[in-house]
Structure 1
Amino acid sequence: MTTLGAVLLPQLPPERFRDVARAADDAGLDELWLWEDCFKESGIASTAALLASTSRVRVGVGLLPVPLRNVALTAMEIATLDRLFPGRFRPALGHGVQSWMGQVGARVDSPLTLLREYADALRALLSGERVTARGRYVSLDDVALDWPPPSPPAIYAGGERPRTLRLCGEIADGTILTGGNSPDRVRELRGHIDEGRAAAGRTGEAHPVVVYVHAATGPDAAERLERERQTWKYPSMAGIGLTGPAEAMAEAIQGWADAGADTVVLQPTPDDPDPEGFIRFVAEKVRPLLP
């Protein structure tokens, strides 16, 4: 069954987040995803507020930029949220936007090496292990969590390029794909992920793929989606963006599902005038039409 979610964009002020999350919870949305974009809201602080304000919707952060965060601190935060809200948090790791990492003095020469070292250390810490690591970037000396999760949560990772996606297949429990990818492109990218899974001997394990998809609803949806195209410099929104009635959206979403997306997360435009209305439309009108 396809999981359906929506993005809570960081262009919204933090004080709006809880109202949107409650709308998602009340409407029956499967998942709500945040972005830890520089220099907007904290992904972890926002997640804690949303989980505390709701009772059932799952909340993901895709992605947490690992150059910005010490791995021990991230492990503490994930473990705390997982124990407070069992099974409702979806953490995901990524390189971070390199220009932003440069602005804060956190840019590294080998993002792939950092992501691998970070994921390995994080997984060990969340498993309750005592960790000593002497990597190129990750250094830990006899570190263990006092309050690890009862069972380690799934750790997602994400990226855009083939080498990163192969690494996601190796080290992560699921992969995040950014917006702007057609179903055919998702099928191609899923191939890179599967190459990494095969190299790590993980083909027998589940590995859900989460795909962001641009979407707009309302009377000016086409105009807002066109502005989004211009922002992201896409040649066209055909095959990568959704608008129109719920039936058309559900049919298009099935295309991404058929291409290998386990979760489709609809990404509204930053200028959407009614974020709560967007959430309700996705959950109440589109979700029931999916298989």
Structure 2
Amino acid sequence: MSTLNPKRVDMKFGVEFVPYLKLDALVKLARLVERSGFEQIWVCDHYHNRHIYPVLTQLALETSRVKLGPGVTNPYLVHPTVTAAAVATLNEISRGRTLLGISAGDPFFLATVGIEQRKPVTAVREAVHIIRELLAGNRVSFEGELFSCRNAGLRFKPANKIPIYIGGRRRRMLELAGSVADGALINASHPDDIKESIKYIEGGLRSSGRTSKTFDFVAYLVVSVGGDLKRARDVTRGVVSFVTSSAPHASLERHGIEIEDVESIRRLLRAGELKKARAAVTERMIDAFSVCGTVDELAARIEELKRHGITRTVIGSPMGPEPAKAVQSIAKALL
């Protein structure tokens, strides 16, 4: 049991759901998240899980205050015009509570359906431009490198602005977030990686003449909280395998992770050998790319991230060996 003061951590919080769980379980968890005081629910978007927009629709209908949206979708599987219509509809269903998180997707999952992750920063930049214009009620005629629109428009306009967050870890994507987005979902858990990421975002803000005062710097953490440390660490392996596979080279070097070990995981992921990729995750990878242990240890990490400039923390998958218990213990200690 944590001995923390419930108000110890002055931070805004969200959670991530991965919809491999049954919808009834997600609804129950969403209600708990809302009652516990979390402000956001981000639902991860991969085709092999339950489809994101029916899930988000059900969660919106079963909650009344928490904000929610895809965290993150990508522009390769769905054209940006369709994403604009989807989030605008979700915003109507949720009565103005919708968020949009977007990035370039996972290259390994895209490859399984024959899609190349071509020019990822350009793809996200063009997608955000198209989506923003459509959500603003404008018609879009646009010829980009990857996407085009010819007098495209929605027949309805959201009643409020839908915030757009760009997710990522690499320099150019985070600079893009600072240039055009309302916030960044930083796919990192270690303070040194977060510091580097914030520097990139601030560079994007400066280059576009924007201020950081209203920008949401979000640490999108891989979290596993539980009393059994070995079990808590073990359940992170699946997520950590993907984080490791796409981590910048500088981050791998910083944490002393051997590139041969990373290449082994990449080969397994490309082959669809997810269980073997999970087993290939090293203890050093778990240390670098997740926060595991007690709620007090999580609180200490969040306090450190706040000092570096983080304005919001997302408690990302898996949350813990027992997600509902993890939500309750985190909320009791931190919110």
Q: TM-score, normalized by length of structure 2?
A: 0.78
Confirm or deny that 1:134 pairs with 2:184.
Answer: no
Does residue 118 of structure 2 align to residue 109 of structure 1?
yes
State the shift of 1:96 in Å.
0.6
Q: Judging changes above 3 Å, is the alpha-carbon distance between structure 1 residues 205 and 150 closer, same or farther for their aligned structure 2 residues? A: farther
Do structure 1's residue 228 and structure 2's residue 276 form an aligned pair?
A: no
Equivalent residues of 1:215, 1:269 under 8 A apart: yes
Aligned to 1:243: 293
Deviations 1:101-148 (A, max 9, x none): 222233243122111111111111111111111112211111111111
Q: Deviation string for 1:9-53 (max 9, x for gaps)?
A: 334233321111111122222222211123112222211111111
Separation of aligned partners in 2, 1:248 and 1:102: 37
1:30 aligns with 2:30: no
Does residue 1:67 correspond to 2:76, yes or no? yes
Q: State the Cα RMSD in Å.
A: 2.2
CA 1:271–1:218 in structure 2 vs 1: closer, same or farther (change >3 Å)? closer
SS in 2 for 1:216: strand
C-alpha distance in 1 between matches for 2:291 and 2:86: 34
> Distance between the aligned counterparts of 1:205 and 1:78, measured in 2?
26
Aligned-residue offset at 1:61 = 2.0
Structure 1 unaligned residues grouped into runs of 5+: none
Shift of 1:227: 5.0
**1:260 and 2:268 are equivalent in the alignment:** no
Greater mean alpha carbon deviation, residues 80-89 or residues 92-101: 80-89
Counterpart among 197, 208, 217 of residue 209 in structure 1: 217
Give the aligned partner of residue 198 of structure 2: 190
Range moving further from structure 2, 90-99 or 35-44: 35-44
> Does structure 2 conserve the Cα–Cα contact (< 8 Å) formed by 1:213 and 1:266?
yes
Equivalent residue, structure 1, for 2:334: 286
Correspondent of 1:269 among 302, 310, 318:
318
Which stretch has the larger CA shift, 123-132 or 133-142? 133-142
What's the counterpart of residue 260 of structure 2? none
Going from structure 1 to structure 2, the CA distance change for 1:227 and 1:279 (only over 3 Å counts) comes to closer
Query: What TM-score results when the alignment is normalised by the length of structure 1?
Result: 0.89
Q: Percent identity?
A: 25
Equivalent pairs counted in the alignment come to: 284
2:140–2:151 contact (8 Å) kept in structure 1: yes
Distance 1:163 1:130, change over 3 A: same
Q: Which residue of 1 aligns with 2:50?
A: 41
Unaligned runs of 5+ in 2: 1-9, 242-280
- Give 1:187 deviation, angstroms: 1.4
**Residue 15 of structure 1 aligns with which residue?**
24
